[in-house]
Amino acid sequence: MKKKIIILIVLFILCGCSFYDEYEMPKEVTLKTINSKFEVYSKPKISDLIEEKNVKIINEDTVLNTDKTGKKKTTIEYEYDDRTYKYDVEYNVEDTTSPTILYTENYNYAYVGDTSIENTDLCESAVFIDNYDRKVSCKVEGTYDINTPGSYDLKYIISDKDNNVIEDSITFEVIDPETIEEDDEDEEEIIEGEQVEIEETDSRIQFSDIINNYKNKNNMIGIDVSRWQGDIDFEKVKKAGAEFVIMRMAVSNGPNDEIGLDSKFKQNLKNAKKAGLKIGVYVYTSPATVKEVKKQAEFIVKELDGTKLDFPIAYDFENWEDVRKLKLNIHDLTNMMDEFYKIVNKEGYEVMLYSSKYYLEKIWGTVDYPVWLAHYIDQTNYQGDYVMWQMTSDGRIDGIDGSVDIDIYYKKEKREN
């Protein structure tokens, strides 16, 4: 045994080799790191940990794990003198972002002496969500006297477990019922003692007006429909100037609600294609888990069965009132959309996000998908990028009885300043 050890030592001496520890930093190496703190769900790289160096960092573009708060450890790999070394370093992940208020009841009231209001949790009517925590606390601060009429200024205090707080005001009014004036029972307009019927006017926006005011060589103008538009004459729609139609393909109205086809989808798809319109589809969905959205995406792929679309599939989440009950955070919502994209993209389909200006600004600011903006106004002031603008839900076009959404699609991504 001694002879074997001696032989190995001699071999190392003859070849100029030596034992080395890949974690032992050579004296000549400069690798100075900083005590780094990163926001949860951010995407820093190993290079963000390094303040000073004189060696080549092999894995400097590796993204650090920030999915959970707390202390984390990573390994920096670097080259020196034709050898690879490793250096372990710690960093902290923290949550410094306040919850997002989606809706609060800014006014509430009770009648003098109504003590039952004391058992009412005013927070129940508030809707809010956090970037990280799935269970956010809410309390109402301030006092009122149920026996004294008047307006009282209260305040919602909404906070996550890291004590990031956001506040909103609420006016609570105690009303004396004896001071309430009765409404005039006769609401009909009277002129010189005669009863007059008020003429109703059609305030819907004409599709032809949209073409005249917005059409140019860099856009297309069309509509989006669902079963609520009933039976549609797409030949008339095309003659009226529409260039495309986005149709609701499928709908799921809440968690555990089995996704199903819009009852008019197949009919709309067939007739719109026959009329020569460009076509797209949207999915109205309210999943609570990645598992649920995966099942929905697989349903979409199966039902499309290779159907060619002219636009990305629109992902439409609108179940905001249930986000508290479902214990969802903003990251959960983006994860579910990512899962939807991953599945349908394997079949060659792209995805865009449909949302209103309000929720695009409140919730979806970090998503990296084309945006279909819903903002019912003559000229949107949304500051993000978007490829399509749903400008009204009160449109009028030949071929459809009733109102319809009108949309402008931009051939190049558009941003309003």
Across-strand partners of 264? none
Distance between start and end Cα atoms, the chain: 80
Per-residue confidence (pLDDT) for residue 4, from 0 to 100: 52
Query: CA-CA distance, 83 to 92, in Å (whole number)?
Result: 29
Backbone torsions φ then ψ of 8, nearest 5 degrees: -65, -40
Per-residue confidence (pLDDT) for residue 182, from 0 to 100: 57
Pairing of strands 404-415, 351-356: unpaired
Residues 309-368 have pLDDT tens digits of 999 999 999 889 888 888 899 999 999 999 999 999 999 999 999 999 999 999 998 889
Contact 146, 115 (CB under 8 A): yes
Helix axes 330-345, 290-304, angle to 10 degrees: 30
Per-residue confidence (pLDDT) for residue 35, from 0 to 100: 80
Count other Cβ atoms within 10 Å, centred on residue 206.
Answer: 15
Mean pLDDT score, 227-241: 96
3-state secondary structure of 316: strand
Task: Please report which confidence band the pLDDT of residue 125 belongs to, taking 50, 70 and 90 as the band edges.
Answer: confident
Per-residue confidence (pLDDT) for residue 415, from 0 to 100: 52
Query: If phi over 0 gives left and psi between -120 and 50 gives alpha, with beta otherwise, what is residue 19?
Result: beta
Per-residue confidence (pLDDT) for residue 224, from 0 to 100: 97
Percent of the chain surpassing pLDDT 90? 75
Query: CA-CA distance, 154 to 401, in Å (whole number)?
Result: 47
Per-residue confidence (pLDDT) for residue 8, from 0 to 100: 44
pLDDT for residue 203 is more than 80: no
Per-residue confidence (pLDDT) for residue 325, from 0 to 100: 86
Per-residue confidence (pLDDT) for residue 21, from 0 to 100: 81
Task: Please report which confidence band the pLDDT of residue 16 belongs to, taking 50, 70 and 90 as the band edges.
Answer: very low
Task: Please report which confidence band the pLDDT of residue 14 belongs to, taking 50, 70 and 90 as the band edges.
Answer: very low
List the structure tokens of 148. Answer: 């004294």
**Top-level CATH class of 100-178?**
mainly beta
pLDDT for residue 183 is more than 90: no
Per-residue confidence (pLDDT) for residue 1, from 0 to 100: 54
Count other Cβ atoms within 10 Å, centred on residue 21.
Answer: 8
pLDDT for residue 194 is more than 70: no
- Please state the domain extents for the chain: 22-94, 100-178, 205-415
CATH architecture classification, 22-94: Sandwich (2.60)
Per-residue confidence (pLDDT) for residue 253, from 0 to 100: 84
Per-residue confidence (pLDDT) for residue 155, from 0 to 100: 94
pTM, full prediction: 0.84
Q: Which CATH superfamily is domain 205-415 in?
A: Glycosidases (3.20.20.80)
Contact 310, 356 (CB under 8 A): no
pLDDT for residue 10 is more than 50: no
Is there a shared CATH topology between the 22-94 domain and the 205-415 domain?
no
Give the DSSP H or E segment for 103.
Answer: strand 100-103
3-state secondary structure of 138: strand
Per-residue confidence (pLDDT) for residue 361, from 0 to 100: 95
Residues 34-92 have pLDDT tens digits of 888 999 999 999 999 999 999 999 999 999 999 999 999 999 999 999 999 999 999 99
Q: How far is C-alpha 58 from the chain's CA centre? A: 35
Burial 150-165 (b: 16+ CB within 10 A, else e): eebebebebbbebebe
Per-residue confidence (pLDDT) for residue 49, from 0 to 100: 95
Per-residue confidence (pLDDT) for residue 195, from 0 to 100: 42
